[in-house]
Structure 1
Amino acid sequence: MQKVYLDSAATTQVREEVIAKMQDALGECYGNPSSTHSFGRTAKTAIEKTRKTIAKYLNAHPAEIIFTSGGTEADNMILRGAVRDLDVRTIITSKIEHHAVLHTVEELEKEYGIALHYVNLDANGNPDLIHLKELLAKDDTKKIVSLMHVNNEIGNKLDIDAVCILCKEYNALFHSDTVQSVGHYAWDVQQTPVDFLTAAAHKFHGPKGIGFAYIKKDKGIKPLIFGGSQERGFRAGTEPYHNIVGLEEAFVMSYNNLDEEKAYVTELKQYFIDKIKTEIPEVKFNGLSGDIDKSTYTLVNVNLPVDEKKGLMLLFHLDLKGIGCSKGSACQSGSSLGSHVLTEVLSNEDLQKPSVRFSFSKYNTKQELDYTIQVLKEFVES
Structure 2
Amino acid sequence: MIYLDYQATTPLAPEALKAMLPWLEQGHANPHSPHRAGRQAKAAVEVARDQVAALLPPGGRVVFTSGATEALNWAIKGAGGGIITTAIEHAAVLDTAAATGRSLTILPVDGEGLVSPEPVGRGVGLVAAMLVNNEIGTIQPVAALAEEAHRAGAWMLCDAVQGYGRVAIPGNVDLIALSAHKIHGPKGIGALWIRDGITLPPLLHGGDQEGGRSGTLSPALCAGFGAAAKLMAARSEEDAAHVERLWSLAIDRLSSGWTLSGSATQRYRGNLNVRRDGLDVGRLMSDCRDIAFSAGSACASGSGRPSHVLTALGLTGGQARCSIRLGFGRYTTEAELVEAIDRLREAAEGQRP
TM-score scaled by structure 1? 0.88
- Partner of 2:166, secondary structure, is coil
Cα distance change, pair 9–349 in 1 and its aligned pair in 2 (3 A): closer
Cα distance change, pair 91–352 in 1 and its aligned pair in 2 (3 A): closer
Instruction: Tell me the equivalent position of 2:291.
Output: 323
Q: Is the 8 A contact 1:9 1:299 kept in 2?
A: yes
- Kindly report the root-mean-square deviation, in angstroms, between the aligned alpha carbons of the 2 structures: 1.6
Task: Supply the distance in 1 between the matched residues of 2:341 and 2:51 (Cα, whole angstroms).
Answer: 40
Higher helix content, 1 or 2: 1
Instruction: Tell me the equivalent position of 1:377.
Output: 345
Deviation at 1:350, TM superposition (A): 5.4
Instruction: Tell me the equivalent position of 1:230.
Output: 209
- Partner of 1:326, secondary structure, is coil
Instruction: Tell me the equivalent position of 2:315.
Output: 347
Task: Supply the distance in 2 between the matched residues of 1:162 and 1:201 (Cα, whole angstroms).
Answer: 27
Deviation at 1:56, TM superposition (A): 3.4
Deviations 1:265-321 (A, max 9, x none): 1110121011211xxx12100112xx2x311021110001335xx3431222222xx
Instruction: Tell me the equivalent position of 2:126.
Output: 144
Instruction: Tell me the equivalent position of 2:246.
Output: 268
Q: Is the 8 A contact 1:89 1:115 kept in 2?
A: yes
Percent identity for Structure 1 against Structure 2:
34
Task: Supply the distance in 1 between the matched residues of 2:317 and 2:275 (Cα, whole angstroms).
Answer: 11
Of the three residues 105, 109, 113, the one matched with 1:117 is 105
Aligned residues: 350
Cα distance change, pair 376–44 in 1 and its aligned pair in 2 (3 A): same
Instruction: Tell me the equivalent position of 2:82.
Output: 90
Instruction: Tell me the equivalent position of 1:80.
Output: 77
Of the three residues 174, 181, 186, the one matched with 1:202 is 181
Q: Is the 8 A contact 1:314 1:354 kept in 2?
A: no
Gaps of 5+ in 2: none
- Partner of 1:176, secondary structure, is strand
Cα distance change, pair 151–329 in 1 and its aligned pair in 2 (3 A): same
- Partner of 1:300, secondary structure, is strand
Instruction: Tell me the equivalent position of 1:213.
Output: 192
Task: Supply the distance in 2 between the matched residues of 1:157 and 1:182 (Cα, whole angstroms).
Answer: 12
Task: Supply the distance in 1 between the matched residues of 2:330 and 2:306 (Cα, whole angstroms).
Answer: 29
Q: Is the 8 A contact 1:304 1:353 kept in 2?
A: no
Cα distance change, pair 353–141 in 1 and its aligned pair in 2 (3 A): closer
Deviation at 1:34, TM superposition (A): 1.3
- Counterparts of 1:304-323 in structure 2, within 5 Å, are 304-307=276-279, 310-319=280-289, 322-323=290-291
Q: Is the 8 A contact 1:286 1:346 kept in 2?
A: no
Deviations 1:94-116 (A, max 9, x none): 1210000011011112xxxx211
Q: Is the 8 A contact 2:253 2:342 kept in 1?
A: no
Deviation at 1:51, TM superposition (A): 1.7
Task: Supply the distance in 2 between the matched residues of 1:380 and 1:297 (Cα, whole angstroms).
Answer: 23
